[in-house]
Amino acid sequence: MAAKRESQAALAARAAEIGRRLAAEYPDAKCRLNHSSPFELLLATILAAQCTDDKVNEVTAAFFTRANTPQAIARMRRSTLEAAFRPTGFFRNKARSVHEMSKTLVKKFGGQVPDDMDDLVSLPGVARKTANVVRATCFGLPAIITDTHVIRLSGRMGLTRNTAPERIERDLMRLLPQESWSTFSHAMLFHGRAVCGAKRPACEACVVADLCPSACAFPHFAKQRSSLL
């Protein structure tokens, strides 16, 4: 007999409990990108694509002493930005995005980072994930941040059947109360880094293993189980 499909109400209750436990497990979970303004965080988040937060913080610590406003960066040579961003990878694309984003902020928004989603995603190099990082962290607005960990864990935990970030964001927004969106996102991100890794999740150390349909369903755990039989 096929397993009974989880009702929407049951799924929402399970998601809420996952969020509650992870928030308790990671009470200090927050954005790890160093910044002192919405613009600095916007730039750092663009650099963080396919790069670690630690490396981005290392790069921006030096770069922000030279330029940390859209006006200053808009006046810089593209080659100067490429050299500064090289350690983060994909530096040509990132330099182009940061340069054009800065010019657009100056031209359309008076050099101020907007908090409106449509305005943010109109900026070169800024997609919904980047916009939500800034909205949640700098403006205190409710936002689901679909970074790679949130995407992986949401699927693994059965909170979504989608793989596209925007659809996953929508699914989680439907499941969770608005006031928990940001906390849930950061806690999931920290859990993905600390416990629920991509290849070898530590299910035996997971505080939500009993709520996760994928718990202990990985090859290295299968070997452990068979050795005990």
The pLDDT tens digits for 180-206 are: 999 999 999 999 999 999 999 999 999
User: Which residue of the set 30, 54, 103, 147 is catalytic?
Assistant: 147
> pLDDT tens digits, residue range 102-122?
999 999 999 999 999 999 999
Lowest average pLDDT, out of 71-85, 161-175, 211-225, goes to: 211-225
Q: What is the mean pLDDT of residues 140-144?
A: 98
Examine the pLDDT at 63 and tell me if it is beyond 90.
Answer: yes
Residue keyed to tokens 């770069």: 63
Q: What is the mean pLDDT of residues 162-183?
A: 97
Domain 38-139 has CATH 3.40.50.300: no
> pLDDT tens digits, residue range 34-52?
999 999 999 999 999 999 9
| Per-residue model confidence (pLDDT) at position 1 | 39
User: Which residue of the set 30, 108, 115, 129 is catalytic?
Assistant: 129
From the list 115, 118, 149, the residue with the least C-alpha distance to 41 is 115
Give Dmax (Cα) for the chain. Answer: 68
Where residue 217 falls among pLDDT bands split at 50, 70, 90? confident
| Per-residue model confidence (pLDDT) at position 159 | 98
Q: Is 30 exposed, middle or buried (0-12, 13-18, 19+ CB in 10 A)?
A: middle
| Per-residue model confidence (pLDDT) at position 220 | 58
Residue keyed to tokens 């965080």: 41
Residue 4: active-site member: no
Examine the pLDDT at 2 and tell me if it is beyond 80.
Answer: no
Where residue 4 falls among pLDDT bands split at 50, 70, 90? low
Within a 10 A sphere around the Cβ of 91, how many other Cβ atoms?
A: 18
DSSP 25-67: H-TT----S--SSHHHHHHHHHHTTTS-HHHHHHHHHHHTTT-
Q: What is the mean pLDDT of residues 163-180?
A: 97
Domain ranges of the chain: 38-139
From the list 73, 25, 38, 61, the residue with the least C-alpha distance to 193 is 25
Provide, rounded to the nearest whole percent, the portion of the chain with pLDDT above 90.
Answer: 90
| Per-residue model confidence (pLDDT) at position 228 | 33
| Per-residue model confidence (pLDDT) at position 46 | 98
Examine the pLDDT at 225 and tell me if it is beyond 50.
Answer: no
- Give the single-character DSSP code of 203: G
From the list 140, 109, 141, 143, the residue with the least C-alpha distance to 39 is 109
Provide, rounded to the nearest whole percent, the portion of the chain with pLDDT above 70.
Answer: 93
Q: What is the torsional sign of CA 142, 138, 187, 167?
A: positive
Q: How far apart are CA 139 and CA 175, in angstroms?
A: 23
Exposure string over 6-27, b if 16+ CB within 10 A, otherwise e: eeeeebbebbeebbebbbebbe
pTM value? 0.90
